[in-house]
Chains A and B, each alone.
Chain A
Amino acid sequence: MIEYYLESGEEMRIVEHPILSFEKQNELHFTYNGKALIGYEGDTIAAALHDNGIMHYSNSIKSHRPRGFYCAIGNCGSCNMRVDGVDNIKTCMTPLKEGMVVESENAEVTIDA
């Protein structure tokens, strides 16, 4: 039995806001480089990772510099990761789903046939 947990505790998620209201959604379970983590319905993969305190998603191909997201609306490609075995998924745009396997892309990626 794998135990899923929220890496950073709760501090990244906004509980109270003067203008917006965020209702707590159902828990989802996913893995990031083998680590079992918790996210919530409605999160994108990038949002769920960030909530877990994870800002480092992958490494650049040539110099292996750490990469996180930059634009969060699908323009820049900085947040691309391998999701359920498929390379180059824009994690900032892709909704988190139960059981997702999310991995860093640390080398040249393949074009999925």
Chain B
Amino acid sequence: MRERDLIIVGGGPAGLSAAKIALESGLSVTLIERAHDLGGQLVKQTHKFFGSKSEYAKTRGIDIAKILIADLEAYSSKLEIYQDTTVLAMYPDHVLTAIQGRNYMKWKAKAIIIATGASEKFLAFENNDIPGIYGAGAIQTLMNQYGIMPGSEVVMVGSGNIGLIVSYQLIQAGVKVKAVLEASDHIGGYLVHASKLVRLGVPIKTNTTVKRAYGTTKIERIDTVRLDPQWQEVEGSEESIDCDALCISVGLSPLHQLLSMSGCEMIYINELGGLVPKKNEQYETTMPRVFACGDVTGIEEASSAMVEGKLAGLMASYSLGYEHPQFETLKAETLHQLQNLRQGPCGIKIRQGLEKAGEAL
């Protein structure tokens, strides 16, 4: 069994940012990533990022991933990275087991950071299991990572930032977006994203959702239905749209399983996307020296995940007696960054969620 100072589960924006800080603090680090590529969802974000300079605003997500990965190169002697590797279990004595292909592996760590991210929510409607009905992230993976179009005519369900961004990316890839459906009475994501679509001729239909899908072995058509202010279907309002792919973008929920099954105290908070670990101001869960950051602690933008990763890296190192050379400065800066990202009207959900979780902003 290998012994390490710190094991980080998840090589997305949070995990990579945490790794950099921990390495700078002098820890030996093992980074475990389930996918083949590091970078998490950043590797399919072709758009320029929002936020401020500290979170790489105006740099495309695909390039932010490259920066975060390159940042680790200087520390190769203290860092080992396992890709294509799935963590199977975490035990109270900080033993972690994982599988890579057919190799079973085991580590013991002094501290652990869980940065497993999130998974896409699904939507209940008739025939929602027909092939060709995909999550928005799946479409991004297929299109932006593997260069394959999901279909030629797509309908998007959900107008949050992901739904709007993926719709735009579909158009960039040469796919026709026939409509964006939004069940509530207003667009969920940033207006600038919505405006980009509307000017390209994509109708955004508020108070409208998908009622059923048609097709035998692949999707051919959907029926939409209008919803009244009480979210009840309006009779006689059904309309058909032909499509060969349907994209579901109705939110994300934290990938909490590793934390839940290890015995961390969890809380269900709707505003944070579902089940999240209870954690203190040091980003530590109820399991001593097990830290959590990024979407697994509540759904936000990747910008916040990067900042949270830095904080968790700082705190995990500190807990082992390795104080980062710029501990106080970095702590103050990152806390300020998080506050800045969350304090506007768009941060209301995350603020409410954190309040319910008993955490300060």
Direct contact of A and B (CB under 8 A): yes
Which one of B86, B132, B141 lies within 8 Å of A72 (CB-CB)?
A: B141
Contacts of A17 in B (CB 8 A): 147, 172-173
- Going nearest first, the 6 A-B pairs with the smallest beta carbon separation are A68-B131, A72-B138, A22-B147, A47-B146, A55-B131, A56-B217
A55 touches B217 (CB 8 A): yes
Q: Which of A30-74 contact B (CB under 8 A)?
A: 42-44, 46-47, 50-51, 55-57, 60, 65-74
B119 on interface, CB distance cutoff 8 Å = yes
Q: Which of A1-45 contact B (CB under 8 A)?
A: 11-14, 16-20, 22, 42-44
| Interface pick from B71-79, B148-156, B158-166 | B148-156
Which label, helix, strand, loop or mixed, suits the secondary structure of the A interface? loop
B133 touches A70 (CB 8 A): yes
Contacts of A71 in B (CB 8 A): 119-120, 135, 137-138
Q: Which of A73-113 contact B (CB under 8 A)?
A: 73-76, 92-93, 95
**Chain A positions near chain B (C-beta within 8 angstroms):** 11-14, 16-20, 22, 42-44, 46-47, 50-51, 55-57, 60, 65-76, 92-93, 95
Contacts of A95 in B (CB 8 A): 36
B129 touches A67 (CB 8 A): yes
Closest-CB distance, B45 to chain A (whole angstroms): 10
Q: Which single residue of chain B is at the shortest CB-CB distance from A58?
A: B131
Closest-CB distance, A44 to chain B (whole angstroms): 7
Which label, helix, strand, loop or mixed, suits the secondary structure of the B interface? loop
Which one of A14, A16, A68, A69 lies within 8 Å of B218 (CB-CB)?
A: A68
A73 touches B131 (CB 8 A): no
Q: Which of A46, A57, A73, A75 has the most CB atoms of chain B within a 10 A radius of its CB?
A: A73
Closest-CB distance, A55 to chain B (whole angstroms): 4
A-B pair count, CB < 8 Å, reads 103
B172 touches A18 (CB 8 A): yes
B92 on interface, CB distance cutoff 8 Å = no
Closest-CB distance, A89 to chain B (whole angstroms): 11
B138 touches A14 (CB 8 A): no
A86 vs B218: C-alpha distance in the bound complex, in angstroms? Answer: 25
B230 on interface, CB distance cutoff 8 Å = no
A73 touches B129 (CB 8 A): no
Q: Which single residue of chain A is at the shortest CB-CB distance from B219?
A: A55
Contacts of A46 in B (CB 8 A): 142
A73 touches B35 (CB 8 A): yes
Which one of A19, A57, A69 lies within 8 Å of B134 (CB-CB)?
A: A69
B134 touches A93 (CB 8 A): no
A to B CB contacts below 8 Å, 14 in the list = A13-B148, A17-B147, A55-B217, A66-B130, A66-B216, A66-B217, A68-B134, A69-B131, A70-B138, A71-B120, A72-B135, A72-B138, A75-B119, A93-B36
Q: Mark B292-317, 1 if CB is under 8 A from A, else 0.
A: 00000000000000000000000000
A111 vs B86: C-alpha distance in the bound complex, in angstroms? Answer: 18
Closest-CB distance, A9 to chain B (whole angstroms): 12
A29 vs B356: C-alpha distance in the bound complex, in angstroms? Answer: 54
